[in-house]
């Protein structure tokens, strides 16, 4: 079930339908230097997913990258009580029963800081997403701030993304743009991300962009500088 991108980087893709749109979902698993696993945006906890993950190594971190991608986190946290749950402090209001061991800030936890950088994308208070960089593989991880859906069998999905100017591109949707409340804050955050050295972009919705990620991200958010 896991797709290997590099020795330390794997993804698990699942179908996902929301609001009538076929968006697909993706969980990213990074093997840390000590062999432990760092899991970004856990998908539904099922036996096959568990077996695939455990074949890679022990789960050390479970990461909710924004205020939206947390629905399955509790199940993973219960299954792996020794893993540290990393999430925004604000998530406690939405999931009071979810334990949060590490609150997300712009400074990564020492347990993964050796290979992973993180940056809060400010200016979108309903989302509060963090971007992550796996430095060894030059891979940027994004969740909802940008999709990269290049084709879809769903006419509704195609229509919505074309209307958003997002179909076939690494770019934000109309919904995401409507949620931006502070363009200057988001612009500053993205400038920090664009200063990182990355080539690949792994999104939660769409296909992995293997090359030219930094240029594609800059183009997708060019409207912020206008």
The residues, any chain, with a CB within 8 Å of residue 57's CB and separated by 6 or more, are 31, 35, 36, 37
Structure-block tokens of residue 146: 């940008």
Question: How many other CB atoms sit within 10 Å of the CB of residue 95?
Answer: 16
Structure-block tokens of residue 17: 């339908």
**Residue numbers of the domain that contains 31:** 2-225
- Three-state SS string over 107-151 comes to CCCCCCCCCEEEEECCCCCCCCCEEEEEHHHCEEECCCCCEECCC
pLDDT for residue 18: 74
* 172 in Cβ contact with 160 (< 8 Å): no
**Distance of alpha carbon 187 from the chain centroid:** 19
Q: Which residue, 176, 157, 178, 177, is CA-closest to 168?
A: 157
Burial of 169-187, coded b for 16+ CB within 10 Å and e otherwise, reads bbbbbeebbebbeeeebbe
In order of 22, 31, 51, 108, 143, the CA distances from 112 in angstroms are 33, 10, 23, 7, 19
Question: How many other CB atoms sit within 10 Å of the CB of residue 5?
Answer: 19
pLDDT for residue 16: 67
Per-residue pLDDT of the chain (226 residues; tens, 9 = 90+): 899 999 999 999 887 677 777 777 899 999 999 999 999 999 999 999 999 999 999 999 999 999 988 888 999 999 999 999 999 999 998 888 889 999 999 999 999 999 999 999 999 999 999 999 999 999 999 999 999 988 777 777 888 788 877 888 999 998 899 999 999 999 999 999 999 999 999 999 989 999 999 999 999 999 999 8
Count how many domains the chain has. Answer: 1
Q: Give the dihedral sign, CA 69/105/92/35.
A: positive
159: enclosing H helix or E strand: helix 155-164
Q: Say how far apart CA 97 and CA 163 lie, in whole Å.
A: 38
Helix, strand, coil in percent for the chain, rounding step 5: 25, 25, 45
pLDDT for residue 197: 97
Q: Say how far apart CA 185 and CA 78 lie, in whole Å.
A: 36
Residue 102: which CATH number? 3.60.15.10
Structure-block tokens of residue 134: 């796996």
């Amino acid at each position: 079930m896991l797709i290997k991108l590099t020795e330390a980087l794997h993804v698990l893709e699942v179908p996902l339908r929301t609001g009538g749109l076929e968006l697909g979902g993706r969980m990213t698993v990074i093997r840390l230097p000590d062999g432990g696993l760092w899991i970004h945006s856990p998908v539904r906890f099922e036996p096959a997913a568990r077996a695939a993950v455990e074949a890679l190594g022990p789960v050390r971190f479970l990461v909710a990258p924004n205020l939206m991608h947390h629905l399955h986190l509790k199940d993973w946290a219960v299954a792996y009580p020794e893993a540290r749950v990393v999430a925004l402090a604000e998530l406690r209001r939405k999931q009071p029963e979810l334990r949060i061991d590490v609150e997300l800030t712009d400074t990564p936890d020492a347990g993964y800081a050796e290979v992973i950088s993180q940056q809060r994308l400010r200016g979108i208070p309903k989302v509060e997403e963090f971007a992550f960089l796996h430095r060894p593989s030059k891979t940027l991880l994004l969740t909802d701030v940008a999709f990269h859906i290049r084709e879809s069998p769903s006419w509704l999905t195609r229509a919505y993304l074309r209307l958003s100017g997002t179909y076939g591109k690494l770019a934000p949707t109309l919904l995401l743009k409507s949620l931006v409340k502070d363009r200057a804050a988001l612009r500053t955050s993205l400038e920090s991300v664009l200063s990182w050295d990355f080539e690949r972009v792994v999104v939660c919705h769409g296909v992995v962009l293997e090359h030219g990620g930094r240029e594609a991200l800059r183009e997708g958010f060019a409207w912020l500088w206008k």
